[in-house]
Amino acid sequence: MKLVRYGPLGQEKPGMIDADGKIRDLSSHVSDIAGDVLSQKGLQALKAIDPASLPVVDGTPRFGACVGGVSKILCIGLNYSDHAAETGAEPPSEPIIFTKQINALCGPNDEVEQPRGSDALDWEVELAVIIGSRAKYVSQSEAMDYVAGFAVMNDISERSFQIKRQGQWTKGKSHDTFGPLGPWLVTRDEVLDPHDLDMWLDVNGERRQTGNTNTLIFNVPHVVSYVSQFMTLMPGDVITTGTPPGVGMGMKPPQYLKPGDVMTLGIAGLGAQKQTVIPARD
């Protein structure tokens, strides 16, 4: 299934994408794509619904972040061997975890704000893992049982804030709109191999990133299991798994985003996003 949240910011409704690509309204069955809806039992209940029995959503409404009730966004750094190479970093011996704050979440086609004082705004297409049920101390062999599905995320980053402003990476990752997520959550059963998905990102129509999840250093079961050793994962939590090469920081000379720039990006089978950069709002 492809599950969506659509409508104005803060008023999103749950939906399902049917075989013809139309949005079907799920609000008579669930209040949101969140919480217990993301469990195996909850997803099976949605799968049993005939999409033809659901109202068609007219027009082209805004897509919100494809999952609600998110308690945390966790990111895995330098998790692609070819991206680590472009940054000049040694591949990590175990996953690097950092956080992106919840206020960063936005819809896949929402505008992206350039923060005040920013001079190094960057892009990162990433495979996002959506947790479906509470996970604590899970093994790699059982880790996928706790995954509801997958989505595209653009891990927007302000490199000066991230690297030059002291402390850890969170301050360069957490501005409003730094986490476009979606357009939809594709349930685990429809992603045959999350470790063989083509990824791409363009800026102003020019290809910047081309990659495949087959160059992940730590795969999805490893990451989910690893993170669950340090903190309890809850339904709706998002884990972004790293980015392939081609980020602005890695170019020679580095190239960064400015207002008016347009990013388009996607992952095979998971959909595409489009964002325009604007100056930060109050």
Q: What DSSP designation does 82 have?
A: H
User: Which run of H or E residues covers position 40?
Assistant: helix 40-47
Residue 89 pLDDT more than 90?
no
User: Which run of H or E residues covers position 188?
Assistant: none
What pLDDT score was predicted for residue 166? 84
Q: What is the CA radius of gyration of the chain?
A: 18
What pLDDT score was predicted for residue 163? 87
List the one residue out of 76, 93, 81, 177 whose CA is nearest residue 128. 76
Any idea where the domains of the chain sit in the sequence? 68-279
Residue 88 pLDDT more than 80?
no
Residue 195 pLDDT more than 90?
yes
Mean pLDDT of 34-63: 97
pLDDT digits (tens, 9 = 90+) for 196-229: 999 999 999 999 999 999 999 999 999 999 999 9
CATH class label, 68-279? alpha beta
Strand pairing of 238-240 and 73-77? parallel
Mean pLDDT of 239-264: 96
- Calculate the average pLDDT of the chain: 96
63: confidence class by pLDDT, cuts 50, 70, 90: very high
Mean pLDDT of 179-189: 98
Flag whether the pTM goes above 0.75.
yes
What pLDDT score was predicted for residue 82? 75
Q: What percent of the chain has pLDDT over 70?
A: 99
Secondary structure of residue 206 in the 3-state scheme: strand
Are the CB atoms for 265 and 243 separated by under 8 Å? no
265 Ramachandran zone, left/alpha/beta (phi>0; psi -120 to 50)? beta
What pLDDT score was predicted for residue 238? 98
List the one residue out of 154, 178, 188, 156 whose CA is nearest residue 269. 188
Task: Please state, in angstroms and rounded to a whole number, the distance separating the CA atoms of residues 259 and 247.
Answer: 17
Q: What percent of the chain has pLDDT over 90?
A: 92
pLDDT digits (tens, 9 = 90+) for 91-134: 889 999 999 999 999 999 999 999 999 999 999 999 999 999 99
Cβ neighbours, 10 Å, residue 188: 20
